[in-house]
Structure 1
Amino acid sequence: MISRAARTILAGTFAGVLLLTASCSSGADDAAEPETADAAECASLDPDLVWYGDIRGRLDRMIAEYGECGDPGDVDEGAPLALFDWDNTVVKNDIGSATAYWMLRNDKILQPRDRDWTTTSRFLTPEAAAALSAACGTEVAPGAPLPTSSDVNCADEIVAVMDEETRSGLPAFAGYDHRRTKASYAWVVQLSAGRSMDEVEEFAIAAREESLAAPEGSTQVVGSTVVDGYVRYYPQIEDLVKTLHANGFDVRIISASAEPVVRVWARELGLPPERAMGVRPVVSEGILTGGLVGCGGVADGEDTVIPYVEGKRCQVNEVVYGIGGPAAFDPLPADRRHVFAAGDSVTDVTFLADATGERLVINRNNPELMCHAYDNSDGKWLITPMFLDPNERAEEPYPCASTAFTEPDGRAGPVVRADGTEIADQRDAVY
């Protein structure tokens, strides 16, 4: 594969030879044609879009180094791979939450099997299950829609549990591996149990239309809870995806939102369904069961792994590279890994670190991720404020040396580099 940089050098050399020849003839105008055609074919990032610091230049150099002018590539055919998280990386706000809020306001969530909320997640605490039962009642038959558009108590309790606590402040989930799943994220997907894939896609389309039409910065009320009311694509990321495609990259999404929802939103970027990965619901006879597709040797339906932290690496290795069993949790050799990655939170830290070229971090003040990004031990981490409504500077240093890392059991600990050395506390400088 000839990189864009190599093509540029060759084009310049060829043009120089032609110009030298042209000095002895009358064909000087023809000499510029190869270089002009090559420059037009090889896209670079839009200079009219604002990037922080030297990030645009760094990304353009990476694209020139690894890319090849032409159509979107395929990693199976040797194309460089670029991976993006979705929520708050490609877009502002969360499309999984937006879809769930739309479902709540339109009575699309169904009464659980046996009217028992513990059937919706193995990690739901007894206290959360009891709170949901008390708020949503048992009058509605299993599989029938809950009247969450009018039942404020039921809607409020579901929204609270989505945020990991009951309305009374009790933990909603427990007992899961915090490096391989986030039970609340999984639960948002599991709330679609009993629906067909076509229905979930229809809900996502409706929520997308509503979220894009809502004024920038707006909120909405679900039950009596005020939540985000809009979503926006980041123009800089749209342009980056377009430019990567034009330079032969294989661009894919790896998200902790529901895969059918991500695929609806990814169409805007020209990504076919198989290029958009997310939490994969188990489907039986066309209906979502509430179970989730496993990874890394975990059986389907066990619900212990989603694309979250190490689970993102697992799904990329399994789906993109065909690595099965527990080996999917291990990093591939550098020459087989993705060149570029972009993310914004702890859910992205593992697949970001796996990227062999540049790593773009949208600063949302997530301690563990920002510890790695600011430590920048290999010089490949690029930090940008959010492109829309950026966070203010974190007032205190990120506690990298003490509590910024989340252990599998949920305990806090120090953040370490790949070589096992601890990262010192880091101050927030890009905001």
Structure 2
Amino acid sequence: MNSTHSPVRGLRGCAAAAVLALAATALLPAPNVSARPAAASAAPAACPKLTVSEGWYGDNKARIERLIADHCRSKGTGGGTGGGAGKGTGAGKPLAVFDWDNTVIKNDVGDATLYWLLRNDRIRPPRHGDWTTTSRWLTPEAATALAAACPPGGRTLPTSTDPRCADEILAVYGTGATSTGRTAFAGYDHRRMEPQYAWLAQLLRGWTAREVRSFAAAARAENLAAPRGATQRVGTARVTGWVRHYEQQRDLIRALQDAGFDVWIVSASPEPVVDVWARGVGIDPSHTIGIRNTTEHGRLTGHLQGCGGVRDGEDRMITYIDGKRCWINQEILGVRGAAAERVQPAARRQVLAAGDSDTDVSLLRDATGLRLVLNRNKNELMCRAYDNGDGRWIVNPMFIEPKQRRTAPYPCATTGYTAADGTARPVRRADGSVVPDQWDTVFRGRDPEETAY
């Protein structure tokens, strides 16, 4: 889950920053190269190629095909996964890792699921009406607002017929604030946790994973059947009501799999939800990682599984920025304990990574071959992608409804980076130097004079 396009989700982008700002700037990206790679030559016929050409910017398609060809010719000799622990591994295969929301699909499956839950009365009230039990990061003001809007009683909340309750839940989830503008979450590490994303998983408390998958499947069917641009009413709000797979990404995932890559989805949406959606691009649930709840007696609890040095139930790290690195290392590479929070040797890391938002920065920086960025005008991500010190970042406009060119430079040298405590700071390279402000140069514009495909 990255960011949404619904009216109530405007602030749902990427709150972020490092566990220790200095430590974060010291994270080592892929090995530097002295010059940008030249345009790729044609891949050998024996290796898979991309069959969808429309939508790829510049020589991005050719460079991706060159990467596939390099690893197709020598399957299993580099960039492979390891371990043997987790949902499933492909030891010896080159690894490719994709974010999901707005990277493989247009719009957000976490949003789509919450909207369905609210329209179908599938959120259970907290025990004793105490909303602080739904998230350790929820502020007293938000807990009070939710309690006032959603009186306890009944097995589930009547959000399909009680717009006040639906609106308050939607505001807290979508904007990180109450309907009156009071801060809803506080006290968390902005490089490891996005409590709004986590809250959706926590609101699934009391259901089984199988039941959650059925909810997600119903929401998926509705959103794929709806016309592009459709909206739906939740409470008193009009919100996004459609989702589409990017055919270019479906094609890329197919080519990578055919070339022998081990392909994974790592998302900040609840894992049972991602399991359902990922099948649409040929990814089995054994190769998805999302936000994971702990369970009791076969049902999801309001607490989350941990990673690295974070224990189950502490609710301090999800698949978000540096948390994505931890979950990749733990579940795909088999690294255990605090070591999972650190950058692994290049020979073990993903060869290709794809993302669209600041939540994907660490996932992308760890990639050793190419880092595919879909341009959604997110500050830290675009600062790093356009700085492109080692020539391995490739930027592409979104395949559906791409953003127009950003008219002001990204504030890389001043406020592009969000630290662990939530403060805005300069974006720094691995050597500690500050990334200068960057202009937006890869976009798809309506003006014929603007850069286009």
Contact 1:67 1:80 in 2 (8 A): no
2:81 corresponds to which residue? 75
Which shifted more, 266-275 or 341-350?
266-275
Contact 1:55 1:382 in 2 (8 A): yes
1:367 corresponds to which residue? 379
Q: CA deviation at 1:75?
A: 3.0
1:184 aligns with 2:205: no
Q: Which amino acid aligns with 2:94?
A: P
Contact 2:168 2:178 in 1 (8 A): yes
Distance in 1, matches of 2:52 and 2:221, equals 29
Q: CA deviation at 1:324?
A: 1.2
Q: Which amino acid aligns with 2:369?
A: G
2:300 alignment partner, SS class: strand
Q: CA deviation at 1:124?
A: 0.3
Q: CA deviation at 1:382?
A: 0.5
Q: CA deviation at 1:351?
A: 1.1
- Identity, % of aligned pairs? 56
Select 1:150's aligned residue among 151, 157, 161.
161
Written as runs of structure 1 = structure 2, the 5 A alignment for 1:100-179 is 100-138=114-152, 140-141=153-154, 144-163=155-174, 164-179=176-191
Distance in 1, matches of 2:204 and 2:249, equals 29
1:327 corresponds to which residue? 339
Distance in 1, matches of 2:272 and 2:169, equals 21
Q: CA deviation at 1:42?
A: 2.4
Written as runs of structure 1 = structure 2, the 5 A alignment for 1:40-59 is 41-59=46-64
Q: CA deviation at 1:321?
A: 1.1
2:256 corresponds to which residue? 244
Distance in 1, matches of 2:411 and 2:305, equals 35
Q: CA deviation at 1:198?
A: 1.1
Contact 2:75 2:94 in 1 (8 A): no
Contact 2:192 2:323 in 1 (8 A): yes
2:303 alignment partner, SS class: strand
Select 2:300's aligned residue among 260, 264, 288.
288
1:23 corresponds to which residue? none
Label 1:48 to 1:392 Cα distance change in 2 as closer, same or farther (>3 A).
closer
Distance in 2, matches of 1:354 and 1:48, equals 27
Higher relative contact order (CA closer than 8 Å, sequence separation 6+)? 2
Label 1:190 to 1:395 Cα distance change in 2 as closer, same or farther (>3 A).
same
TM-score, normalised on structure 2? Answer: 0.84
2:265 corresponds to which residue? 253
2:269 alignment partner, SS class: strand
Select 2:311's aligned residue among 299, 307, 310.
299
Whose Rg is larger?
Answer: 1
Contact 1:69 1:247 in 2 (8 A): no
Q: Which amino acid aligns with 1:93?
A: N
Distance in 2, matches of 1:419 and 1:208, equals 44
Segments of 5+ residues of structure 1 without an aligned counterpart are: 1-37
Q: Which deviations, in whole Å up to 9, do the C-alpha atoms of 1:201-247 show, x marking residues without a partner?
A: 00000000001001111111110111111110000000000000110
Q: Which amino acid aligns with 1:108?
A: R
Select 2:428's aligned residue among 397, 407, 416.
416
Segments of 5+ residues of structure 2 without an aligned counterpart are: 1-43, 83-90, 444-453
1:311 corresponds to which residue? 323
1:275 corresponds to which residue? 287
2:112 corresponds to which residue? 98
1:75 alignment partner, SS class: coil
Distance in 2, matches of 1:303 and 1:50, equals 39
Distance in 2, matches of 1:407 and 1:187, equals 21
1:63 aligns with 2:64: no
Contact 1:281 1:289 in 2 (8 A): yes
Q: CA deviation at 1:48?
A: 4.0
Q: CA deviation at 1:74?
A: 7.7
Please provide the CA RMSD for this pair: 1.5
Q: CA deviation at 1:69?
A: 8.6
Distance in 2, matches of 1:318 and 1:53, equals 35
